């Protein structure tokens, strides 16, 4: 669990470091070749970390410490030491639920959700980076007969 939470912490801190750089380099600022290579390496590291390391440590934690294996059913898994989900008892074992769901399936579904969330965050970060430094247009002020903006109502 510590390794998985540490990988998430590294990912969050790595993404948070982008904010000061966005303020330092407003849109249209030219980068040197070395700065562009360092930025590309950093972004590659973040993508590798988000799509490779974090899911790997989740799968390792879930399969080893949580015992979410192929031989453990969702209905039989002991949640928090006192709760079992007998509601999901499969029909082949006398229950009403039409599917047999193993904890390995739940583990894989959580990895898919991690990929979907990380892809959404990546797209949001791309859009945020492209729109950095842009200001909202000033609202049209009413003008006087001479073409000057009116500061107060007269």
**How does pLDDT run across 84-105, given as a tens digit for each residue?**
777 788 888 888 888 888 999 9
Phi and psi, residue 102, nearest 5°: -95, 160
In whole angstroms, what is the distance from residue 121 CA to residue 115 CA? Answer: 10
> What pTM did the predictor assign?
0.77
Are 73 and 100 a contacting pair, CB within 8 Å?
yes
Q: Which range has the worst mean pLDDT, 59-68, 117-126, 127-136?
A: 127-136
In the predicted structure, residue 79 carries a pLDDT above the cut 90: no
């Amino acid at each position: 669990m510590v390794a998985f939470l540490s990988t998430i912490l590294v990912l969050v801190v790595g993404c948070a470091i982008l904010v000061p750089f966005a303020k330092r380099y407003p849109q249209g600022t030219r980068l040197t070749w070395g700065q562009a290579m360092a930025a590309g390496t950093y972004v590659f590291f973040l993508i590798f970390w988000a799509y490779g390391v974090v899911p790997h440590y989740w799968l390792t934690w879930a399969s080893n410490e949580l015992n979410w294996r192929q031989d453990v059913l969702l209905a039989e898994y002991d949640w928090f030491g006192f709760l079992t989900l007998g509601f999901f008892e499969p029909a082949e074992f006398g229950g009403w639920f039409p599917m047999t769901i193993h904890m390995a399936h739940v583990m894989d579904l959580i990895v898919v959700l991690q990929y979907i969330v990380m892809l959404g965050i990546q797209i949001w970060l791309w859009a945020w980076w492209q729109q950095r430094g842009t200001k909202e247009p000033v609202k049209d002020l009413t003008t006087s007969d001479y073409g000057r903006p009116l500061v107060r109502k007269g």
